[in-house]
Each structure stands twice: as C-alpha cells, then as structure tokens.
C-alpha cells in the first residue's frame, strides 16, 4: 500500500451494500491512503451500511442515492456542495439486472428488466458524471467505474448484464471525450469474479469462478477485493493523471489468455 497516494483528495464512493462490496474495500483502502471518503448507498441499504461503518469504528458519512434518478444526483450534488465543497473523484460501483436478464434464453428476457438493467448499470455512470462535473475543483477530477470484461466475448451466463457492461465501456469513452477538456478523467477497472451480493445474485456464478480456475495465469481469490480496490485508488490518484478512456484489467490475467491453461482443474 502507498500510504499518502490519496492525501488531500476528497472522494465519493457509491455502491456500498455489504462488507464484501468492492466499494467498501475501496473506501477502506482509499482512507488508508489518506483520502477523505464520503459514501453513498442505495436508499434501502443505508441503514445496514451506516451500521457497517459504525461497526468498523469509522466516522464515514453515508448518503442515500438511487443512481437511476437524475433528480437524486442533482439533490445530492447540492447537499455535498454545501457540506463538503469540492470532490476530487468518485467511484461508480453500481449494477443490477433481474434474474431472467442474467441467465436463461437470451431472447426471452423481459424488456422492462433489460431497460432497468441498462439504466442502473450503464446510464448511471453518466448520471454520476454530472455530480463529478458539478463538484470538481479547478484542477479536475477522476471518475472510475467497474467493468466485467474479457475483450467483449459472451460469457456462459451474465447475458444482458454483459450487454450493459459493453454499454458502460462505451459510456466511459464518450464521457472521457467530453470531460477531458475540463481535466476530468473517466476510466474503468475490469475486475475478475468476486463473491459479493451482486455476484451471488447471478445464477450459475460458479461457471465464472470455474473459468478463472482453469484460465487465469495468476492465482485469483474470489474473496479478496483489495487488488481491485487498489487499482481504483491508482486511477483516482494523480499517478494516473494522463489516463482517460482506459480499461484496466485486474483479473489475474484472464483476459489475456486465448484458451484454458489448466483444463483439468
């Protein structure tokens, strides 16, 4: 760990649900690296996240935020502006899709669920970008999102969430185009599979874990989000000041392999 990497940075971390959340790991690592961290949680999760924060003895504040709503982002922007002032960066750690959009026959998924998945998992990055633009200091800011990607291929499960992640990647590139002149960077970290609440909601998630066991050249732990959190911290830091529109793979090298290395596992 680099203790002072984020000293002087104020960061907004969205998407905390449980202790296992990538967002929670990032908040802990960013705090340890010197950042002042403010959290958001889906309104239904706020109580449990406040308890989680209290249990860890941390003084972090938790604000409710439904990222599918533009009015919620605009309202939170004003609250954060008056309470804290400028923010140097934000993590988008939000995704949702109904079960029938995640597994089963691709063509049978309910279009209403697909629309909700897109709004929650892809469009919401642009919604959060509005807040980042509004609260960025003159020197610019960094927005980071979380992808699940192996060069755009189809997974054995994941279905419409795979489509949403492709859209998230495209959204990040268009945001990078528009916000670059304001020194606001937009990048993604493509993580390997981690056992979080969102992951547990994916039917046959084991198929993805099995793929990592046979194909990742580095050993991969599905219960350790800290390598992903550290990459997010890097992208939020000034070390990444010339990077935007990038996807950083933190997946044990899975995406770079063309075939299973250990098919017998």
Ligand X SMILES: NC(=O)c1ccc[n+]([C@@H]2O[C@H](COP(=O)([O-])OP(=O)(O)OC[C@H]3O[C@@H](n4cnc5c(N)ncnc54)[C@H](O)[C@@H]3O)[C@@H](O)[C@H]2O)c1
Give the residue numbers annotated as catalytic, written as ranges: 158, 165
Angle at 125 between CA 235 and CA 72, to 5 degrees: 120
Q: Where are the beta strands (DSSP E) in 36-112?
A: 36-41, 62-64, 89-92
The nearest distance, CB 147 to ligand X, in angstroms, is 6
Q: Which is nearer to ligand X, 15 or 169 (CB)?
A: 15
Of 1-9, 79-87, 104-112, 143-151, which part binds ligand X (CB under 6 A)?
A: 143-151
DSSP at 259: S
Q: Which helix (H) or strand (E) holds 142?
A: strand 141-147
The nearest distance, CB 128 to ligand X, in angstroms, is 9
Q: Which is nearer to ligand X, 140 or 161 (CB)?
A: 161
Q: How many residues does the chain have?
A: 265
The nearest distance, CB 138 to ligand X, in angstroms, is 29
For the stretch 106-109, contacts whose Cβ atoms lie closer than 8 Å and that sit 24 or more positions apart, written own/partner, are 106/159, 106/160, 109/159, 109/160
70 lines the binding site for ligand X (CB under 6 A): no
26 lines the binding site for ligand X (CB under 6 A): no
Q: Which of 13, 33, 53, 68 binds ligand X (CB under 6 A)?
A: 68
Which residues between 73 and 132 bind ligand X (CB under 6 A)?
93-96, 120
- Taking the C-alpha atoms of residue 101 and residue 216, their distance in angstroms, rounded to an integer, is 27
The nearest distance, CB 198 to ligand X, in angstroms, is 3
Of 13-21, 73-81, 106-114, 257-265, which part binds ligand X (CB under 6 A)?
A: 13-21
Q: Which is nearer to ligand X, 6 or 73 (CB)?
A: 73
CA 265 to chain centre: 30
- Taking the C-alpha atoms of residue 61 and residue 112, their distance in angstroms, rounded to an integer, is 34
Closest to 2 (Cα-Cα) out of 187, 234, 232, 191: 234
Q: Which is nearer to ligand X, 63 or 87 (CB)?
A: 63
22 lines the binding site for ligand X (CB under 6 A): yes
Please provide residue 249's backbone torsions phi and psi, each rounded to the nearest 5 degrees. -85, 120
The nearest distance, CB 17 to ligand X, in angstroms, is 3
* Chain residues in the site for ligand X (CB under 6 A): 15-18, 21-23, 42, 45, 65-68, 93-96, 120, 146-148, 191, 193-194, 196-199
């Amino acid at each position: 760990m680099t203790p002072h990497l984020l000293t002087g940075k104020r960061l907004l971390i969205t998407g905390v649900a449980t202790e296992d959340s990538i967002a929670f790991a990032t908040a802990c690592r960013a705090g340890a690296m010197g950042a002042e961290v403010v959290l958001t949680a889906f309104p239904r999760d706020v109580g449990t996240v406040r308890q989680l924060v209290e249990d860890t003895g941390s003084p972090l504040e938790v604000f409710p935020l439904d990222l599918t709503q533009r009015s919620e982002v605009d309202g939170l922007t004003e609250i954060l502006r008056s309470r804290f002032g400028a923010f140097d960066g934000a993590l988008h750690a939000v995704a949702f899709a109904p079960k029938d959009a995640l597994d089963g026959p691709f063509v049978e998924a309910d279009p209403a669920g697909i629309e909700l998945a897109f709004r929650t998992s892809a469009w919401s990055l642009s919604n959060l970008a509005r807040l980042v633009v509004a609260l960025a200091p003159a020197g610019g800011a960094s927005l980071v999102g979380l992808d699940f990607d192996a060069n755009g291929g189809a997974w054995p499960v994941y279905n419409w969430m795979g489509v949403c992640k492709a859209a998230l990647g495209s959204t990040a590139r268009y945001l990078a185009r528009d916000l670059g002149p304001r020194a606001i960077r937009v990048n993604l970290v493509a993580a390997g599979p981690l056992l979080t609440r969102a992951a547990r909601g994916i039917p046959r998630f084991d198929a993805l874990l099995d793929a990592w066991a046979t194909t990742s050249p580095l050993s991969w732990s599905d219960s350790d989000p800290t390598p992903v959190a550290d990459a997010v911290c890097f992208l939020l830091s000034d070390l990444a000041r010339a990077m935007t529109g990038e996807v950083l793979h933190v997946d044990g090298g899975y995406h770079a392999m063309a075939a299973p290395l250990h098919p017998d596992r």
